[in-house]
């Protein structure tokens, strides 16, 4: 009855009534410590409504319980949730230390998952390494849990010792069936192998992934990590296979700007002229129907600058000009846009680009990276109003702290004064 009453309070009670009942319940639990279901409901009530003092009292009371009363999964999960959302640093450290001993192979996956959510955010490096050992033991008895395996691999890459990583990689073949069921696990495995793997391990995972991709459709995140991995670790034959595979996969697919950026980046370094031309035409069409981001547009303009034909270049300039009128670029995109405009744009396009840039400079902290390219275009274009505006911007820049950075801006300033 008391547990049902607390659940009703949790959903419908008024705050002052709930606070009073929290104080009453902590005293009742001190007399009846074996009431695990009531304790779990109480902890959830404290998490949502309790005062700072009530949170501290609930956490201290729970951590000092005899071990037999802490074995209940409902209590443990409610306790971890309270620590994660309302606990102090001291509460968190203690909870993680205790749970490392509590997390045995007998624990259910939902209990382990709740603990990992806390540990991933707050555990120290020694705690994470202890957790990796505990997870290895837990996984040995739970070889069908892809979610926990994914987190385990992520923690290995983030905090594992060389010995812990080597131990896992020696048993990699045992995990392949489960790994191939999880895009997330494969993604973290790619990262870990790329960071710490030997040449043999890199070759092994490359062969594994190539075979997996032939029979499965990856999500965008996995394919991006694969393309980055291949670009850094793959031989020319594997890189070409990855490029051909991606070019086929994106046809008719609703792919993301994230994937398109990685594909263009790899093409720019390793693709043929024909592949680049085909990709640039594809991106031109894709941009008409999807939302771009500054990173994609920067890579796109970079490839257009060096590999695009005149029509593609003009399409890119028109699209980017329209995009900049409504969106906020970063310094890299704006610099690439100005450089392309100077090289291939008409005078009217240059003046528009300068207007867009002055607007950006008015609303952003003056950036030497953008400013140098902007001034280069101002000097090249030679518009008197633009020169006067640029001189005003440079004056502000030279009077700011940015003058401590080495640049060519003072020299350009002197050139513009001649006009």
pLDDT digits (tens, 9 = 90+) for 201-221: 898 899 889 999 999 999 999
Q: Check pLDDT > 80 for residue 382.
A: no
The torsion region of residue 382 among left (phi > 0), alpha (psi -120 to 50) and beta comes to: left
Q: Residue 375: pLDDT band by 50, 70, 90 thresholds?
A: confident
Predicted pLDDT of residue 418? 66
Note the pLDDT tens digit of each residue in 28-48.
888 888 888 888 888 898 899
Position 264 confidence tier, pLDDT thresholds 50, 70, 90: very high
Residues 151-191 have pLDDT tens digits of 999 999 999 999 999 999 888 888 988 998 999 999 999 99
Confidence of residue 376 (pLDDT cuts 50, 70, 90): confident
Sorting pLDDT into bands at 50, 70 and 90, what band is 351? very high
* Residue with the larger pLDDT of the pair 290 and 400: 290
Contacts of residues 267-275 at CB distance under 8 Å and 24 or more positions apart, as own/partner, are 267/243, 267/303, 268/299, 268/302, 268/303, 268/306, 268/307, 269/231, 270/231, 270/236, 270/239, 270/240, 270/243, 271/243, 273/307, 275/243, 275/247
pLDDT of residue 210: 92
pLDDT tens per residue across span 233-252: 999 999 999 999 999 988 87
In the prediction, which pLDDT does 221 show? 95
The reported pLDDT for the residue numbered 419 is 62
Q: List the alpha helices (DSSP H) in 216-293.
A: 220-233, 236-249, 257-270, 273-287
Looking at residues 359-366, what average pLDDT do you find?
A: 80
More confidently predicted of 348 and 387: 348
What pTM value is reported for the model? Answer: 0.82
Most confident among 10-24, 215-229, 370-384 (mean pLDDT): 215-229
Q: Is 260 a residue whose pLDDT tops 90?
A: yes
Q: How confident is the model over 104-129, as pLDDT tens digits?
A: 888 888 888 888 988 998 999 999 99
* pLDDT digits 0-9 by tens, 190-200: 999 999 888 88
What is the distance between the alpha carbons of residues 70 and 68, in angstroms, rounded to a whole number? 6
Examine the pLDDT at 75 and tell me if it is beyond 90: no
Residues 273-324 pLDDT 10s: 889 999 999 999 999 988 899 999 999 999 999 899 999 999 999 999 999 9
Distances in whole angstroms, Cα of residue 372 to Cα of each of 331, 402, 408 = 11, 13, 7
Our CA dihedral for 168, 172, 178, 180, rounded to 10 degrees, sits at 120
Q: Please report, rounded to a whole number, the percentage of residues in the chain having pLDDT higher than 90.
A: 45
Please give the average per-residue pLDDT across 1-16, as a whole number: 82
The gap from C-alpha 67 to its chain's centroid, in whole angstroms, comes to: 39
Cβ–Cβ under 8 Å, residues 297 and 261 = no
**204-219-246 Cα angle (round to 5):** 70
Residue 362 · residue 397 · CB < 8 Å: no
């Amino acid at each position: 009855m008391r547990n049902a009453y607390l659940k009703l309070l949790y959903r419908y009670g008024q705050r002052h009534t709930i606070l009073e009942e929290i104080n009453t319940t902590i005293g009742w639990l001190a007399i009846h410590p074996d009431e695990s279901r009531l304790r779990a409901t109480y902890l959830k009530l404290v998490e949502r409504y309790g005062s700072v003092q009530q949170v501290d009292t609930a956490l201290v009371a729970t951590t000092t319980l005899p071990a037999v009363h802490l074995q209940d999964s409902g209590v443990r999960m409610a306790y971890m949730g309270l620590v994660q959302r309302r606990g102090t640093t001291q509460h968190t450290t203690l909870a993680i230390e205790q749970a490392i001993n509590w997390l045995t192979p007998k624990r259910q996956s939902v209990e382990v998952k709740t603990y990992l959510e806390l540990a991933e955010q707050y555990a120290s490096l020694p705690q994470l390494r202890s957790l990796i050992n505990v997870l290895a033991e837990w996984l040995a008895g739970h070889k069908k849990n892809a979610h926990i395996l994914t987190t385990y691999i992520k923690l290995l890459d983030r905090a594992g010792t060389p010995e812990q990583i080597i131990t896992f990689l020696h048993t990699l073949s045992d995990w392949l069936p489960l790994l191939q069921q999880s895009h997330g696990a494969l993604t973290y495995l790619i990262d870990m192998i790329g960071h710490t793997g030997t040449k043999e391990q890199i070759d092994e995972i490359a062969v594994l992934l190539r075979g997996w991709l032939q029979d499965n459709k990856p999500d965008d995140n996995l394919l991006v990590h694969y393309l980055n991995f291949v670009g850094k670790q793959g031989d020319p034959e594997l890189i070409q296979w990855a490029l051909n595979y991606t070019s086929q996969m994106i046809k008719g697919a609703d792919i993301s700007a994230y994937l398109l950026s990685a594909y263009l980046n790899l093409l720019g370094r390793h693709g043929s002229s024909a592949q680049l031309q085909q990709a640039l035409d594809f991106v031109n069409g894709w941009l008409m129907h999807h939302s771009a981001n500054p990173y994609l547009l920067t890579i796109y303009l970079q490839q257009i600058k060096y590999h695009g034909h005149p029509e593609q270049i003009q399409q890119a300039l028109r699209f980017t000009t329209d995009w900049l009128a409504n969106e906020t670029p970063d310094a890299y995109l704006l610099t690439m846009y100005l450089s392309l405009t100077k090289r291939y744009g008409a005078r009217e396009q240059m003046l528009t680009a300068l207007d867009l840039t002055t607007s950006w400079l008015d609303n952003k902290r003056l950036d030497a990276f953008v400013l140098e390219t902007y001034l280069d275009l101002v000097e090249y274009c030679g518009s008197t109003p633009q020169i006067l505006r640029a001189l005003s911007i440079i004056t502000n820049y030279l009077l700011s702290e940015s003058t401590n950075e080495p640049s060519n801006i003072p020299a350009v300033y002197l050139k513009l004064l001649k006009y």
